[in-house]
Amino acid sequence: MAAGTVRVGLVGVGNCASAFVQGLRFYENAAANEPIPGLMHADLGGYRVRDIVVSSAFDVIEGKVGLDVADAVHAAPNDTLRFAEVAPTGVTVARGPTLDGLGRYLSARVREADAPVADVAEALACVERLPPPDRFAGVEIMAPVLFLPRVFEPELCRHLIGLYEAQGGEESGFMREIGGKTMGITDPGFKRRKDYNIDDRELISALQTRFLRRVVPEIAKVHQFKVTRMERYIVSCYAAEDGGHFAAHRDNTTKGTAHRRFAVSVNLNDDFEGGEVSFPEYGPRSFKAPPGGAVVFSCSLLHKVSKVTRGRRYAFLPFLYDDAAARIREENARFVGESGSNYRAGNPTSAEQTA
C-alpha cells in the first residue's frame, strides 16, 4: 500500500461495519479546516479519512460470506441507512469462526455459511506480507493507460472552456443499478462536477475529427480494437470552490453503461492543483495530462479524480465503443431509467458515429 495507509480488517460485517465503510466514502474528501457534522477530526496526526483502506473482512452469515465488502455491508440482516454509494473494494468477505455461536434469536433469522472457516491469523499475515499495489509484480508498474499529447490544439481548448464559462454547467451525477434499473443519482460525497452539454453539430464533427486522427489509431495499435462510436460530448468542470472530485469507480458496471469500452480524459487547461486521475489498483501514481492531452483507459479500470484544491480543471470526457457494443447498448436500453431509452444501434446519430 502507499505510505501512510491505514489498513483495517473487519471482524463481522454488521451494521457498525456498514456505517464505517459508508463513512469512509462519505467523508473521503473531508476538508481539515471546516467543521463537519458526524466527524470529530478530518485530520488526526496527519492521517485523513481517505488514508483508511479495508484490506480484509470476516463473517459467518450466509449471504455475506463470498461477497465484496461493498455489497456485504448492505446484505441482510443489516438495516443501516444507505447514506453513501460504496464502490467495489476488491476485498471478499471470508468465512470466520463462529466462536460463541449465533444466539437463539439471530439463528432464527440467518443461516451460517457452509464455506470453510478461514485461518484469520494466516489471512491477516498474508495481507501484511503483500507488496504495495504498484509493486505486486515484483517491480514498479504503471496503470495500463495511454497518455497522448496534442489531441486538441490550444485554440480548441480555449474555445471549449469559453463555452462552459459563457453557458455554465449543470451538476453531474453518476449511474447506479437500483432495482434492476440503471438510474442516475447524485451524491456530493462521491462526486462533485458540473457539465456543459455540447449540441453544436459542427463542433461535434470537429471533435470527432481530432479523435479519429489522434486517439482511434492509438487504441487500434495498442489494443487491436476498432472504435466506431463515441458517446457524450461535454465540457466538464471540477472546481475548487465546489470541492470538485470523483471517488473511485468504474465506468461500465450497470446495464445502461455496460457497452462502454474506453474512457478518454482530455485536459483543457493546467492552471489548477489537484484534479488528477489515478488508478488505485495499480498504486498511488496520478496523471495530469497537459492542455489538449489525453489519458485513455479501459472503462473496467477502477479510477478516481482527486479533489481540486486550487482553480478549476476543465476537461472533455467521452466514452468510446464499437458496433458490437452498440448492440449491447440497444439490448439494455429498456433498463435505463424508469421507462427505458429509445436507443437503436442500427441508426447511429452523427454525434455517435466516429468512423
Q: Judge contact between 70 and 21, C-beta under 8 A.
A: yes
Which DSSP state fits 310? B
For position 352, what pLDDT does the model report?
65
**What does the alpha-carbon distance between residue 344 and residue 348 come to, in Å, rounded to a whole number?**
7
For position 130, what pLDDT does the model report?
77
pLDDT at 255 over 50: yes
Mean pLDDT, residues 271-299? 94
State how far the alpha carbon of 68 is from the alpha carbons of 54, 167, 322, in Å. 11, 42, 30
Mean pLDDT, residues 36-60? 86
Mean pLDDT, residues 117-135? 81
Mean pLDDT, residues 253-282? 95
Average pLDDT of the chain, as a whole number: 90
**What does the alpha-carbon distance between residue 15 and residue 170 come to, in Å, rounded to a whole number?**
35
Contacts 24+ apart (CB under 8 A), 38-47: 46/4, 47/4, 47/6
Query: In the numeric block, which cell numbers belong to residue 58?
Result: 470476516
- Residue 127 binned pLDDT confidence (cut-offs 50, 70, 90): confident
For position 44, what pLDDT does the model report?
83
**What does the alpha-carbon distance between residue 7 and residue 209 come to, in Å, rounded to a whole number?**
46
For position 349, what pLDDT does the model report?
61
- Residue 3 binned pLDDT confidence (cut-offs 50, 70, 90): very low
Query: Of 63 and 2, which is predicted with more confidence?
Result: 63
